[in-house]
Structure 1
Amino acid sequence: MNTLRTVTVTRYLQPLREGGSLPALAEADDGFKYVVKFKGSGHGVKTLIAELLGGEIARALGLKVPELVFAELDEDFGRTEGDEEIQDLLKASQGLNLGLHFLSGAFTYDPAVTTLDPLLASKIIWLDGLITNVDRSYRNTNMLSWNKELWLIDHGAGLYFHYSWDGIAPNPAATMPYIKNHVLLSQATQMEEADRICSALLTENKLQEIVQLIPDEWLSWDLRDETPDQLRAVYFQFLSQRMNFSKQFIKEVQDATKTLV
């Protein structure tokens, strides 16, 4: 079974103040730099779970995603940080966090400058439909151009059912009204082909393997009685069942495309 590498964060370099989760650029004991998402911020571990599952599903579909690693913070880390907000964040994030390999020199994808291959654009929208990712818009594309290739980042806004989950099985047939704001909507003209390819790649075994990556440490939720294995099963069931409704979100994409001026 595949797993993620675990690194220890050794140096906090700078906060990245995009959005509300306050990620940071940091250096780890392997000598590389990472964009670290902290479990002590915003929606906590649920954002990290969505980031982990979204990123690794994208990788399974052949899309480019920076390497994800578990980023360990020990209890002494950040005590010398002068910013009180950041110090509180680091204190609340002891243990396992999530890091994305920093793509030095990358720049934000601009659809006005670069047009994607229609199949690639369609695969990305298929991914976002599957994980119910509401955050890949013109305002915030969450895609980078690096070494003349497109890289996907920041899937923390996906799987939003878990933010209001009340123990009832989430609806795998949930609609995606936000798809009309997707930055790649006009370019995604091969959705049926994307569905055929992505459905073949994302087998139940592969999906189960990805869900099993979620650490127990991220699955001990306040006010929930489920075990980590039971919570993993919720994610697996939602994603595997949602694949059965892929024709539905394909139609949503096609209907939204007709409204474009």
Structure 2
Amino acid sequence: MNFSEPEIRTVNVTRYVTPLREGGSLPAIAEADDGFKYVLKFRGAGQGVKALVAELIGGEIARALGLKMPEIVFANLDTAFGRTEPDEEIQDLLKASVGLNLAIHYLSGAITYDPVVTKLDPLLASQIVWMDCLLTNVDRTARNTNMLMWHRELWLIDHGASLYFHHSWSNWEEQAVRPFAMVKDHVLLPQASELEKVDERFREILTSDRIQSIVSTVPDEWLTGYGEDMTPQEIKQVYVQFLTTRIAQSNVFVKEAQHARKSLI
């Protein structure tokens, strides 16, 4: 299957605009030298670089599956940036985040998806639920949907809570074949009636070569603190193997999602 490899641009942050305090890691709206605004995710935040790894891999998988995802860029933060910031907490965060961070294109005027107001097509709902089961994304609930409506279309944001296996690196093989029990709390599960149809199509799209291509975009400098004597390339291969194993055994998480859905409807 032909596909184009992800092309992640790199920008330089020029202005810190405002913090987004509803996020636990204090993301911020910032301007870059390309003239655009971005939601900036900091490497020095509490979740560390693993949240950026999950954000990058999850976002690019969403894009590969044809779901709407704002552009992801690498964002350089200079050592001089933030010296005039009066808020000490933010200044400490900026100092800890010098170097390569991650940013998402800011969708000006977008509003948070409200499941009460907007009902999604069952196919689209099923696509998002399937992907979140693959990624083990625990953060797409009614309390925090991490979806936006922009120009009457649904856009996905914030995959930093995905791939939580990498926080306990030693048993990733076991976690790769587990069902995703947290799907019971997924905000779109009641509408996800076409999971088997989506499963067949998405397994065709997410080939091992495509997964390898997406994971290869992760900067080597982010692959630290894994508690193992492994090179960045070896760590990337664990991500590839985790994802390809889950895709190969997707019937496990599809059945779990279908079972959880039956208990809701």
TM-score (norm 1): 0.97
1:62-73 equivalences in 2 (<5 Å): 62-73=66-77
Aligned partner of 2:94 in structure 1 is 90
1:168-207 equivalences in 2 (<5 Å): 169=173, 171-207=175-211
Measured after TM superposition, the shift of residue 204 of structure 1 is: 1.1
Aligned partner of 1:49 in structure 2 is 53
1:214 corresponds to which letter in structure 2? V
Following TM superposition, where does structure 1 have runs of at least 4 consecutive aligned residues deviating by more than 2 angstroms? Answer: 166-171, 220-224
Q: CA RMSD in A?
A: 1.2
Aligned partner of 2:79 in structure 1 is 75
Q: Percent identity?
A: 62
CA shift digits 1:97-156 (9 cap, x unpaired): 000000000000111111111111000001000010011000000000001100000000
Does the CA-based 8 Å contact 2:178-2:252 persist in structure 1? no
1:1-261 equivalences in 2 (<5 Å): 1-166=5-170, 169=173, 171-221=175-225, 223-260=227-264
Unpaired runs of at least 5, structure 2: none
CA shift digits 1:221-244 (9 cap, x unpaired): 264321100000010000001101
Alpha-carbon distance between aligned partners in 2 of 1:52 and 1:75, rounded to the nearest angstrom: 24
Q: How many residues align?
A: 261
1:92 corresponds to which letter in structure 2? A
1:257 corresponds to which letter in structure 2? R
Measured after TM superposition, the shift of residue 167 of structure 1 is: 6.8
Deviates more, 1:61-70 or 1:111-120: 111-120
1:220 corresponds to which letter in structure 2? T
Measured after TM superposition, the shift of residue 168 of structure 1 is: 5.8
Alpha-carbon distance between aligned partners in 1 of 2:26 and 2:8, rounded to the nearest angstrom: 23
CA change 1:111–1:167 in 2 (3 A) is closer
2:118 corresponds to which letter in structure 1? T
Unpaired runs of at least 5, structure 1: none
CA shift digits 1:41-63 (9 cap, x unpaired): 01210000000000000000000
Alpha-carbon distance between aligned partners in 2 of 1:32 and 1:153, rounded to the nearest angstrom: 17
CA shift digits 1:17-48 (9 cap, x unpaired): 12311100000000000000001001210000
Does the CA-based 8 Å contact 2:166-2:172 persist in structure 1? no
CA change 1:151–1:168 in 2 (3 A) is closer
Does the CA-based 8 Å contact 1:161-1:170 persist in structure 2? no
Measured after TM superposition, the shift of residue 169 of structure 1 is: 3.9
